[in-house]
Amino acid sequence: MRGDAAVDLSDLIGLDADQARRRLEIAGQRVGAIVETASPRPVVLEGSLRVVRARRGSDGQVDLVVTRERYLPPVNRE
């Protein structure tokens, strides 16, 4: 039964970006923008993209903010 129930956006937090997109598409919901965010400090990010924020717009589309799974701590160069 495609499109019958809206996805609870809080259920998307922490999911891999592709998993979140598939969950929305299976429910018949449109995916809007997927925006990658990064730390304001210079760090090396690695891993898959994970959803950190999901928002349903007035047009019904769901926008996702994603970031890499983990960061590599800075190396002390003393």
User: DSSP letters along 19-51, please?
Assistant: HHHHHHHHTTPPEEEEEE---SS--EEEEEEEE
pTM: 0.78
How high is the pLDDT of residue 1? 39
* Residue 40 burial (10 A CB sphere; 0-12, 13-18, 19+): exposed
pLDDT in tens, the chain (78 residues): 345 567 899 999 999 999 999 999 999 999 999 999 987 877 788 889 999 999 999 898 999 999 998 877 777 766
CB distance 56 to 27 below 8 Å: no
How big is the chain, counted in residues? Answer: 78
Residue type, 71: Y
Domains, the chain, ordered by start: 9-71 (3.30.10)
